[in-house]
């Protein structure tokens, strides 16, 4: 371990978002420049896990000064190093400026996006190198494991989790302690434990981020769980689309095994537990626990009926306990700081914090952790900084394809399991997709039904056939052919599928349609009765026109039109031929004078 | 097909690791050639139909050869609301192929994928393993030039 004492640390984000924004080149540039200036004994450059503020990537934080740099490019680095590290004045050009303000905010903890968060699960994000176990240990890592293995009985571990009130973070919200106790009670010598990292909900990426930023916390949680349940082998089922997460968790397993914190005879206590990584094959339904287990066994991931539940008969017929990544990552800090402490966070029935991915039509996209019960408004406006371009907030979609849309009228809703369910949505894995006035809710319902038609495994008829019928009705409505009775048809199909589908995917599949109908029925009716798409999205129902007052005749739109539907002389107003126009929107995107309107 | 045998050995010819074997073959060859599947079936002692059922169930697998570069346009919810469909339209128009198809010169295969987990950069497309974020229709041409 590098034991040199540095004056300053530069923490460069190396989460997938920033890496794809070339953050590794930024890290190299920092290293080169620091060396060139002879500062390598004083300034250390560290690649960390996802720091959360993905919208502004690539980002870097300088500690202990707590200065936040954003949207870095390699060109910025020489000047930044000179200004910050030699001259001692933080480099303004790369600082964060809020959407409606003019002045830079230098310090991380003064930025709204960070200020209002509460980091429990993500406590190590952006402060350590996730590829080095020593750094995890330096931040009290594996202390909980030592406590659990040397000083607690399995019953005591489960009791502590029970006191904490921890519930499953994968979506269902089932109390973790009850799940563990059931599996522990199940007769059998061989028991398995699974970490569900098949994060399939579109718009949710907290599990990927946790595996990338703090893989040892997941391993430590799993090992404590294994001791409580009496499991000897664990599997992490992770999406193959997350190559960085796969690499980091495999690296963590190797390191923990080397240190005697995993594998045979852990910490000399006689307890053994090994963990294997299984890469998913890209099937959404494998996030469902019975399908996931079939996939680990090397079969197509088709769900089977429950009971029997995995706690009785799971992987290869043995008692099995499945929790998702975020749940496992909560376990070490509960054991370390006590269940009673954890229970002070959150609301009466939803304890602790929740990680949300705040994405879509929002200024500050990124990953945020907040205490349960925080009002939705605080997440969207306090942390997220509101909607870009001064547009109106319409709804937020929560819980992925099984979830629903919460409208603007419920902005003061406290976010916890119960309240979201009452509103018709679900907590799900924590994806919050923000929608503005230019998002069509019928189109969103169609989007999710399309998704589910693709991902339905085809085993049961209500899901396989019923969803296709719903899709046809929605397509009929968005293409302008909707008739009276179609909306009611959707409702009755939704009800039928909900009641009769085999697994969780099918049971919840109609939710996006049901919640959009509940809150945005007027939009459906506008499509059906007035043949109008109020948000200006559904192609068959909209027209693009050029405002002759605003058009300067720059010809940019005509040159960008792929079907030559736009004509006009230079410096004169242009016209769109509606018979040729395919409504692709290329002209609107190209126009610099805001002269093209959609109706 | 020597490498296929090595892949099978890597997993000790274990039946439960069939999916991992196919993933490795897919990564190496770009698709699952019939010959490779026959070798896996023989080595692990499972019927070929078993492999076919896996290859057609999971999205990660392809039974036909792909282009030199695979364009994965993310159509997760965040990308959807930020205009992913427009990117797909532009790509289909420029490349003259539909979602799931390969160009005649075998340069590109176009695919829609569900959420690559980079929602902060929406809309996103991934070519081979490189992420391109915050795209508009205008940017597409320039990005594609890099992949010959």
Average pLDDT over residues B62-75: 92
Q: How far apart are CA A566 and CA A555, in angstroms?
A: 9
Which of the four CATH numbers 2.60.40.10, 3.40.50.150, 1.25.40.10, 3.30.70.20 does domain A543-598 have?
3.30.70.20
Please check whether residue B48 lies inside any domain of the structure: yes
In degrees to the nearest 10, what's the CA dihedral of A501, A489, A454, B50? 40
Report whether pLDDT(B1) > 80: no
The CATH number of the domain covering residues in A8-110: 3.40.30.10
Geometric angle at alpha carbon A380, from A377 and A381, rounded to 5°:
75
Average pLDDT over residues A127-137: 95
Cβ <8 Å between B16 and A298: yes
* B80 and B135 both lie in a single domain: yes
Pairing of strands B108-113, B69-74: parallel
Q: How far apart are CA A408 and CA A95, in angstroms?
A: 32
State which residue of chain B sits closest to A299, comparing Cα positions: B54
Structure tokens at B43: 């080595």
What does the pLDDT look like over A551-597, one tens digit per residue?
999 999 999 898 899 999 999 999 999 999 999 888 988 899 999 99
Q: Are A201 and A431 in contact (CB under 8 A)?
A: yes
Cβ <8 Å between B115 and A20: no
Cβ <8 Å between A200 and B114: yes
What does the pLDDT look like over A260-310, one tens digit per residue?
999 999 999 999 999 999 999 888 899 999 999 999 999 999 999 889 999
Q: Is the Cα torsion angle A561, A562, A566, A569 positive or negative in sign?
A: positive
Residue A105 has phi, psi (to 5 degrees) of -115, 110
Residue B104's region, left for phi above 0, alpha for psi from -120 to 50, else beta, is alpha
Q: Are A402 and A149 in contact (CB under 8 A)?
A: no
Cβ <8 Å between B114 and A451: yes
Q: Which of A279, A295, A359 sits opposite B120 (nearest CB)?
A: A359
* B84 and B21 both lie in a single domain: no
pLDDT of residue A126: 85
Closest Cα to residue A438, out of A382, A487, A389, A384?
A389
Share of chain A above pLDDT 70, in %: 99
* B40 and B82 both lie in a single domain: no
- The CATH code of the domain that includes B106 is 3.40.30.10
Position A355 confidence tier, pLDDT thresholds 50, 70, 90: very high
What is the residue extent of each domain of chain A? 8-110, 133-343, 353-436, 441-529, 543-598
Average pLDDT over residues B12-24: 96
Which of the four CATH numbers 1.20.1440.230, 2.40.50.90, 1.10.10.10, 3.20.20.105 does domain A441-529 have?
1.20.1440.230
B36: domain range? 2-57
Position A2 confidence tier, pLDDT thresholds 50, 70, 90: low
Look at the block and give the residue holding tokens 């905010």: A105
Q: What is the mean pLDDT of chain A?
A: 94
Please check whether residue B27 lies inside any domain of the structure: yes
pLDDT of residue A101: 82
ipTM of the predicted structure? 0.91
pLDDT of residue A3: 59
pLDDT of residue A172: 82
Cβ <8 Å between B81 and A444: yes
Cβ <8 Å between B78 and A279: no
Cβ <8 Å between A202 and B118: no
Contacts of A562 in chain B (CB under 8 A): 90, 93
Q: How far apart are CA B37 and CA B22, in angstroms?
A: 8
State which residue of chain A sits closest to B18, comparing Cα positions: A298
What does the pLDDT look like over A220-242, one tens digit per residue?
999 999 999 999 999 999 998 88
CB proximity list for B113: less than 8 A, separation 6 or greater: A241, B59, B72, B73, B74, B75, B126
Average pLDDT over residues A77-101: 92
Please check whether residue B115 lies inside any domain of the structure: yes
* B75 and B126 both lie in a single domain: yes
CB proximity list for A567: less than 8 A, separation 6 or greater: A558, A574, A575, A577
CA distance A4 to chain B (A): 35
In degrees to the nearest 10, what's the CA dihedral of A339, A341, A346, A351? 0
Report whether pLDDT(B32) > 70: yes
Cβ <8 Å between B120 and A586: no
Pairs of residues, one from chain A and one from chain B, whose beta carbons lie less than 8 Å apart: 155
The neighbour count for residue A138, using CB atoms within 10 Å, is: 11
Q: Which CATH architecture has domain A133-343?
A: 3-Layer(aba) Sandwich (3.40)
Terminal CA-CA length for chain A: 63
CA distance A528 to chain B (A): 22
Per the model's pLDDT, the better-predicted residue between A176 and A306 turns out to be A176
Measuring CA to CA, how many Å separate B91 from each of A345, A591, B87, B98, B140?
A: 48, 20, 6, 9, 8
Q: Which of A17, A200, A586 sits opposite B118 (nearest CB)?
A: A17
Q: Are A585 and A591 in contact (CB under 8 A)?
A: no
CA distance B77 to chain A (A): 5
Report whether pLDDT(B2) > 80: no
Classified as helix, coil or strand, A203 is coil
CA distance B26 to chain A (A): 11
The neighbour count for residue A146, using CB atoms within 10 Å, is: 16
CA distance A344 to chain B (A): 31
What does the pLDDT look like over A134-146, one tens digit per residue?
999 999 999 999 9
What does the pLDDT look like over A480-538, one tens digit per residue?
999 999 999 999 999 999 999 988 889 999 999 999 999 999 999 999 999 999 999 99
Closest Cα to residue A239, out of A203, A289, A282, A205?
A282
Contacts of A366 in chain B (CB under 8 A): 120
pLDDT of residue B130: 86
Average pLDDT over residues A22-44: 94
Note the Cα A426 to chain centre separation in Å.
14
Pairing of strands A274-280, A393-398: unpaired
Report whether pLDDT(A1) > 70: no
Which of the four CATH numbers 3.10.20.30, 1.10.150.20, 3.40.30.10, 3.10.20.600 does domain A353-436 have?
3.10.20.600
* B85 and B33 both lie in a single domain: no
Average pLDDT over residues B43-48: 96
pLDDT of residue A138: 95
* B18 and B81 both lie in a single domain: no
Helix axes A325-337, A154-164, angle to 10 degrees: 100
Q: Are A214 and A49 in contact (CB under 8 A)?
A: yes
How many domains are contained in chain B?
2
Q: How far apart are CA A535 and CA B36, in angstroms?
A: 50
């Amino acid at each position: 371990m590098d034991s040199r004492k540095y004056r300053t640390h530069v923490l460069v984000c190396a989460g997938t978002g920033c890496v794809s924004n070339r953050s590794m080149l930024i890290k190299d540039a920092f290293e080169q420049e620091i060396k060139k200036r002879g500062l390598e004994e004083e300034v250390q450059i560290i690649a960390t896990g996802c720091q959360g503020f993905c919208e502004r990537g690539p980002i870097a934080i300088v500690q202990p000064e707590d200065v936040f740099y954003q949207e870095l490019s390699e060109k910025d680095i020489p000047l930044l190093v000179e200004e910050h590290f030699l001259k001692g004045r933080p480099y303004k050009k790369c600082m964060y400026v809020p959407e409606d303000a003019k002045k830079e905010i230098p310090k991380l903890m003064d930025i709204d996006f960070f200020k209002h968060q509460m980091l429990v699960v993500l406590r190590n994000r952006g402060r350590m190198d996730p590829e080095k176990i020593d750094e995890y240990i330096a931040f009290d890592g594996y202390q909980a494991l030592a406590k659990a293995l040397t000083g607690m009985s399995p019953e005591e571990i489960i009791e502590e989790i029970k006191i904490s009130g921890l519930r499953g973070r994968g979506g269902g919200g089932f109390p973790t302690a009850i799940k563990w106790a059931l599996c522990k009670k199940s007769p059998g010598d061989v028991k398995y434990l699974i970490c569900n990292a098949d994060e399939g909900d579109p718009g949710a990426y907290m599990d990927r981020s946790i595996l990338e930023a703090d893989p040892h916390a997941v391993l430590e949680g799993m090992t404590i769980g294994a001791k409580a349940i009496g499991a000897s082998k664990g599997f992490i089922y992770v999406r193959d689309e997350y190559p960085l997460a796969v690499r980091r968790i495999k690296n963590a397993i190797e390191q923990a095994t080397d240190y005697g914190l995993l594998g045979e005879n852990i910490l000399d206590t006689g307890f053994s537990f090994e963990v294997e990584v299984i890469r998913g094959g890209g099937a959404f339904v494998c996030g469902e626990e019975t399908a996931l287990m079939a996939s680990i066994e090397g079969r197509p991931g088709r769900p089977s009926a429950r009971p029997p539940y995995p706690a009785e008969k799971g992987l290869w017929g043995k008692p099995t306990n499945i929790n998702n990544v975020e749940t496992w990552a909560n376990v070490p800090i509960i054991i370390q700081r006590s269940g009673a402490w954890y229970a002070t966070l959150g609301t009466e029935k939803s304890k602790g914090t929740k990680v949300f991915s705040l994405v879509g039509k929002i200024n500050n996209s990124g990953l945020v952790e907040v205490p349960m019960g925080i009002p939705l408004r605080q997440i969207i406006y306090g942390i997220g900084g509101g909607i870009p371009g001064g547009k109106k907030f319409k709804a937020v979609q929560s819980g992925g394809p099984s979830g629903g849309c919460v409208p603007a009228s419920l902005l003061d809703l406290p976010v916890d399991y119960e309240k979201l369910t009452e509103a018709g949505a679900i907590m799900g894995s924590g994806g919050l997709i923000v929608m503005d006035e230019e998002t069509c809710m019928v189109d969103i319902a169609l989007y999710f039904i399309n998704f589910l038609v693709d991902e339905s495994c085809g085993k049961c008829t209500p899901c396989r056939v019923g969803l296709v019928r719903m899709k046809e009705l929605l397509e009929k409505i968005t293409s302008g052919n909707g008739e009276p009775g179609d909306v009611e048809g959707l409702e009755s199909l939704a009800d039928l599928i909900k009641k009769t589908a085999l697994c969780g995917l099918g049971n919840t599949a109609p939710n996006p349609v049901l919640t959009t109908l509940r809150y945005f029925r007027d939009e459906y009716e506008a499509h059906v009765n007035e043949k109008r798409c109020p948000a200006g999205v559904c192609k068959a129902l909209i027209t693009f026109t050029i405002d002759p007052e605003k058009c300067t005749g720059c010809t940019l739109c005509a040159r960008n039109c792929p079907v030559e539907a736009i004509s006009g002389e230079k410096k004169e107003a242009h016209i769109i031929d509606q018979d040729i126009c395919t409504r692709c929107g290329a002209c609107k995107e190209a126009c610099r004078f805001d002269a093209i309107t959609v109706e | 097909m020597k490498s296929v045998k090595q892949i099978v050995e890597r997993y000790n010819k274990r039946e439960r690791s069939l999916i991992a074997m196919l993933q490795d073959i897919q990564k190496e060859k770009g698709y699952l050639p019939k010959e490779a599947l026959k070798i896996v079936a023989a080595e692990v002692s499972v019927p070929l139909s078993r492999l076919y059922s896996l290859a057609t169930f999971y999205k990660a697998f392809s039974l036909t050869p792909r282009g030199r570069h695979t364009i994965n346009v993310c159509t997760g919810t965040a990308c959807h609301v930020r205009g992913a469909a427009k990117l797909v339209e532009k790509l289909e128009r420029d490349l003259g192929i539909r979602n799931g198809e390969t160009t005649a010169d075998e340069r590109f295969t176009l695919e829609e994928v569900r959420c690559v987990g980079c929602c902060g950069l929406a809309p996103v497309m991934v070519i081979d393993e490189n992420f391109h974020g915050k795209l508009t229709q205008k940017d597409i041409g320039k990005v594609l030039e890099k992949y010959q």
